[in-house]
C-alpha cells in the first residue's frame, strides 16, 4: 500500500466519526497539517501518527503497510528509550509485526531495543547481553553507527551491573567515540545523540572515571557546535541539555579535587536554566508589546 492510503484512511475514519479537521488536530498538531496529510499524501511524524491513531481508534498498520510504518513504530520506541521510558517502549513492541522484522535493518534495531527491555523491564542481564551481542555481531552492517553506539552503551550497562568494570568502560568508550563522529540525519539528530551520550556520562561517573566524564562532556559540547556550524544556521548556537552536561562536569571536577573549576561548572549548571527562562520571557514580552502596538 502506498502513502496515498494513509491520507485516505485518516480522512475516511475522521468523517466516519463526524470529526472536523480542527477537532482531530486539537492538542496534536495544526489543522493545516491534518489538511496536508489528507490531501497531499504526507505521512505524519511518529508522535503525531500515534496520537492521531489513538484519537481515531486506528492501528498504525491500518494507515500504511510500507516502510513508513516501520519507521514510525521504531521512532516511537527510540524516543521512549531516549527518555528512559522503558515500560512504554516495551509496550510499543506489540505494534512490531513479524513481516517488518524480515528487514535486516529493523531486525537488528529490534535486538538493540529488546536488550534495553530485558535489562530495565525484566531485569535480566543475561538475556540483555544476548540481544545486544546479536545486534552487534549479526546486524552491525545494517543498523548504522547510531544503533551500534546504543548497543555498546547497553553492553556497558550490562557489564556494569555484572561488576565487570573494564568491560563496561571499554564499551561506553566505544559508544562515545561512535556518537561524536555521527553526521546529523533523521536518526542521528543532535537530540538523539546527546540523549544517549548523557547515559555514557552517567556510567563513567558511576565507574568513578572522572577524567573521562570531563573529557566526554567537552566532546559532546564540541560535537553539537560542529553540527550547528556545518549546517550553516545563522541563529546563535544553543547547546542541547547544556546545564545537565555542566552538572556532570562539576561532579567530576569536584571528585578530582579541582574545586574552583567544579564551582564554575556548578554555577553554569544552575545559571543556564535561569538564563534560558529569562530569554524565553524576553521573547514573549517583545511579541506581546509588538502585538499591543499593532
Question: In sequence order, what DSSP letters do the residues of 251-292 get, joined into one string?
Answer: HHHHHTT-HHHHHHHHHHHHHHHHHHHHHHHHHHHHHHHHHH
pLDDT surpassing 90 at residue 197: yes
| Nearest partner of 216 among 249, 261, 265, judged by Cα | 249
Q: What is the mean pLDDT of residues 197-206?
A: 96
Question: At 1, is the pLDDT very low, low, confident or very high (cuts 50, 70, 90)?
Answer: very low
Residue 276: the pLDDT is: 63
Separation CA 161–CA 163 (nearest Å): 5
Q: What is the mean pLDDT of residues 229-256?
A: 76
Q: What are the chain's domains?
A: 1-64 (1.10.260.40)
pLDDT surpassing 60 at residue 2: no
Residue 4: the pLDDT is: 43
Separation CA 265–CA 253 (nearest Å): 8
pLDDT surpassing 80 at residue 260: yes
Question: At 70, is the pLDDT very low, low, confident or very high (cuts 50, 70, 90)?
Answer: low
The answer to pTM > 0.75 is no
CB 246 within 8 A of CB 272: yes
Please count the residues of the chain: 294
Residue 289: the pLDDT is: 74
Separation CA 220–CA 121 (nearest Å): 29
Separation CA 45–CA 48 (nearest Å): 6
Q: What is the mean pLDDT of residues 114-135?
A: 96
pLDDT surpassing 80 at residue 88: yes
Separation CA 170–CA 179 (nearest Å): 14
Residue 122: the pLDDT is: 95
Q: Among 21-30, 246-255, 285-294, which stretch is predicted with the lowest mean pLDDT? A: 285-294
Which residues contact residue 30 at a Cβ distance below 8 angstroms, ignoring those fewer than 6 apart?
none
Residue 59: the pLDDT is: 72
For residues 31 and 288, which has the higher predicted lDDT (pLDDT)?
Answer: 31
| Nearest partner of 179 among 211, 217, 208, 235, judged by Cα | 217
Q: How many helices (H) and strands (E) does the chain have?
A: 16, 0
| Nearest partner of 156 among 194, 209, 103, judged by Cα | 209
DSSP state letter for 238 = -
Q: What is the mean pLDDT of residues 240-251?
A: 87
pLDDT surpassing 50 at residue 163: yes
CB 56 within 8 A of CB 64: no
Residue with cell 556520562: 201
Amino acid at each position: 500500500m502506498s502513502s496515498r492510503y494513509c491520507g485516505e484512511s485518516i480522512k475516511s475514519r475522521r468523517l466516519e466519526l463526524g470529526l472536523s479537521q480542527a477537532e482531530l488536530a486539537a492538542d496534536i498538531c495544526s489543522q493545516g497539517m491534518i489538511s496536508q496529510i489528507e490531501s497531499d499524501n504526507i505521512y505524519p511524524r511518529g508522535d503525531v501518527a500515534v496520537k492521531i491513531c489513538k484519537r481515531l481508534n486506528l492501528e498504525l498498520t491500518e494507515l500504511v503497510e510500507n516502510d513508513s510504518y516501520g519507521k514510525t513504530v521504531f521512532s516511537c520506541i527510540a524516543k521512549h528509550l531516549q527518555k528512559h521510558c522503558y515500560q512504554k517502549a516495551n509496550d510499543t513492541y506489540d505494534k512490531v509485526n513479524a513481516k517488518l522484522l524480515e528487514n535486516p535493518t529493523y531486525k537488528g534495531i529490534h535486538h538493540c531495543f529488546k536488550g534495553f527491555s530485558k535489562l530495565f523491564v525484566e531485569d535480566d542481564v543475561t538475556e540483555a547481553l544476548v540481544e545486544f551481542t546479536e545486534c552487534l555481531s549479526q546486524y552491525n552492517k545494517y543498523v548504522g553507527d547510531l544503533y551500534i553506539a546504543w548497543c555498546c552503551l547497553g553492553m556497558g550497562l550490562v557489564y556494569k551491573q555484572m561488576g565487570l568494570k573494564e568491560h563496561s568502560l571499554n564499551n561506553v568508550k566505544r559508544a562515545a567515540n561512535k556518537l561524536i563522529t555521527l553526521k546529523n540525519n533523521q536518526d542521528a539528530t543532535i537530540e538523539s545523540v546527546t540523549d544517549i551520550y548523557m547515559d555514557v556520562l552517567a556510567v563513567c561517573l558511576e565507574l568513578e572515571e572522572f577524567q573521562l566524564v570531563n573529557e566526554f562532556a567537552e566532546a559532546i559540547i564540541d560535537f553539537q557546535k560542529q553540527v550547528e556550524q556545518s549546517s550553516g544556521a545563522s541563529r546563535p548556537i544553543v547547546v542541547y541539555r547544556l546545564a545537565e552536561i555542566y552538572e556532570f562536569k562539576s561532579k567530576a571536577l569536584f571528585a578530582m579535587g579541582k574545586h574552583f573549576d567544579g564551582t564554575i561548572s556548578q554555577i553554569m549548571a544552575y545559571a543556564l536554566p535561569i538564563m534560558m527562562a529569562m530569554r524565553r520571557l524576553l521573547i514573549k514580552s517583545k511579541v506581546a508589546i509588538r502585538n499591543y502596538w499593532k
